[in-house]
Amino acid sequence: MNYRDLFELSGKHALVVGAGSGIGRAVAAGLADFGASVTCADVNAEAADAAAGEVAARGGKADAAVVDITQEAQVGELVTGLSKLDVVVSTPSINVRKPLLDVSVEEFQRVIDLNLKGNFLVMRAAGRRLAEQGKGSLVIFSSIRSQVVEPGQGVYAATKAGTLQMIRALAAELGPKGVRANAVAPGVVETPLTAQIKNQPSWYRAYAEKGALGRWAQPSEMVGAVVYLASDASSFVTGSLLLVDGGWTAVDGRFTPPL
């Protein structure tokens, strides 16, 4: 065996949900670089097209799809409509940074609908498809907030912990059918979701200093984890949480944000 081949994704088709920006966009390009053909799905049609175009410009194969993962029918149609499916990656999330006592029911519902319900719908539809064919890898983005929390992150953290527990349950349920299910937990990554923090230098710097590496991550630094979990290199890995957090949870500091 040539161990380099363990990471090869040629002949596989990957669906990347949230491919229009940030981590999802980097992941789509990364999977394609390792040989996978990719469906770049996003709620924003223009962003999905741009992501697919970027993959093509790098010499890869990609198409674009529009999906709102809070809509059951749309998720089902996307997953069942693909002629081939080997890898599913889901990245979308939103956050409302407020003390828990100040969070409105509407804000709570909005975060729950996308982060928890939306990813549940992706897991369910993809899990059914992969289980029927008896193989596949499902990778859902959780967060360090599934493990640690701070003021203002209560609802977001609850959704990320819930996502992780659903992945673990799915791994147990689908393991006998040949399907693997894992979660990735980023630390602080420069994406549109974290733009609010970057715009406040003291907050941005404090988060950088909380990690062992003393800096923020770029979306491209999440690609290696996904390629690993998508490929045969992780053939005996399921039900896991892969921390890609620059040592945040190991250092175990605390920062109270300016809410």
Q: What is the pLDDT of residue 192?
A: 81
The CA angle 98-104-105, to the nearest 5 degrees, is 130
The list of the chain residues with pLDDT below 50 reads none
224 by DSSP, 3-state: which? helix
pLDDT tens-digit series, residues 148-174? 998 999 999 999 999 999 999 999 999
HSE-CB for 83 with a 13 A CA cutoff? 3
Instruction: Give catalytic residues, as residue numbers.
Output: 156
Task: Return the pLDDT at 199.
Answer: 85
Sign of the torsion formed by the C-alpha atoms of 217, 196, 20 and 120:
positive
Whether residue 171 contacts residue 182, with contact meaning beta carbons closer than 8 Å, is answered with yes
* 3-245 homologous superfamily: NAD(P)-binding Rossmann-like Domain (3.40.50.720)
Evaluate whether 201 touches 165 at the Cβ level (below 8 Å): no
> Where are the domains positioned within the chain?
3-245
For residues 130-160, one letter each, b for 16 or more C-beta atoms within 10 angstroms of the residue's C-beta and e for the rest, the string is bbeeeebbbbbbbbbbbbbeeebbbbbbbbb
- Residue 195 has a pLDDT of 79
Whether 48 and 28 have beta carbons less than 8 Å apart is answered as no
What is the CB neighbour count within 10 angstroms for residue 68? 16
* Per-residue model confidence (pLDDT) at position 255: 59
